[in-house]
Amino acid sequence: MMLKVRGASETEVKSVLRNEFKESIDYRNCSKNPESSILKVDVRGTVDVGKLYERLKKMSSSVKIESVIPEDVKEEIERYKKDLDRMKKQKEDLESKLRKKREENRRLAEENKKLQRKINDVEQKHKGGTSTTAIEYHGVEYHQKLHHMHQEVHKHEVHIRKLRISDGNAGNAIERMNQLRLQ
């Protein structure tokens, strides 16, 4: 930290500092400004700032104590600030993702409820002995019968054309077709 003491002699200030903070004072960085009667002293290490202020205030008109942060500590503080900003951004991103996931879960839960209602409705319709497999079988069977009938109609149409081509006369073709139907 740096002390700026106004209105006290350099010897008085050094005396207070020597008595109170013997190991913390670096007198090489002690300077007196001749124009403004301000004494600047660097004090290193751990210092009871309140005690120092009270002692110096008794003998001077003005005491100002400034903290001086070493460069390595400043760099560490800046690194911590950057880490804190990065962590805040990560937190915001995670909160945003969490909100989106909650909305998606809510939407899926609603969709699940709708599907469950549909399943329950279908189960209610099919209660009473009818099962879905019987309905499907009936549907397949019905389509097979339709397909078979379509094939039979097609065969008869082909036979009629053949008869008309082979016989020049339409009456014979009709008789033959009737004979084929009887078979």
Closest of 73, 56, 77, 54 to residue 4, by C-alpha? 56
Greater confidence (155 vs 172) lies with: 155
Per-residue pLDDT reduced to its tens digit, 113-154: 999 998 888 888 877 545 444 445 556 677 777 778 888 888
Tokens of 104: 């998606």
Neighbour tally for 21: CB within 10 Å:
19
* pLDDT above 60: residue 100: yes
What residues does 32 pair with on adjacent strands? 39
Helix, strand, coil tally for the chain in percent (to 5): 70, 15, 20
**pLDDT computed for residue 150 by the predictor:** 81
What residues does 64 pair with on adjacent strands? 4
Instruction: Give CA–CA dist 91/88, Å, rounded.
Output: 5
DSSP-assigned letter for residue 41? E
**Whether this model's pTM surpasses 0.85:** no
Neighbour tally for 180: CB within 10 Å:
13
Greater confidence (45 vs 16) lies with: 16
Instruction: Give CA–CA dist 182/87, Å, rounded.
Output: 91
Closest of 77, 67, 33 to residue 47, by C-alpha? 67
Query: Is 8 strand, coil or helix?
Result: coil
The architecture in CATH of the region 2-68 reads 2-Layer Sandwich (3.30)
Instruction: Give CA–CA dist 121/110, Å, rounded.
Output: 17
What residues does 41 pair with on adjacent strands? 3
- Are 41 and 73 spatial neighbours (Cβ–Cβ below 8 Å)? no
**Listed range (78-82, 121-125, 154-158) with the worst mean pLDDT:** 154-158
Residue 67, CB-side half-sphere exposure with 13 Å CA sphere: 10
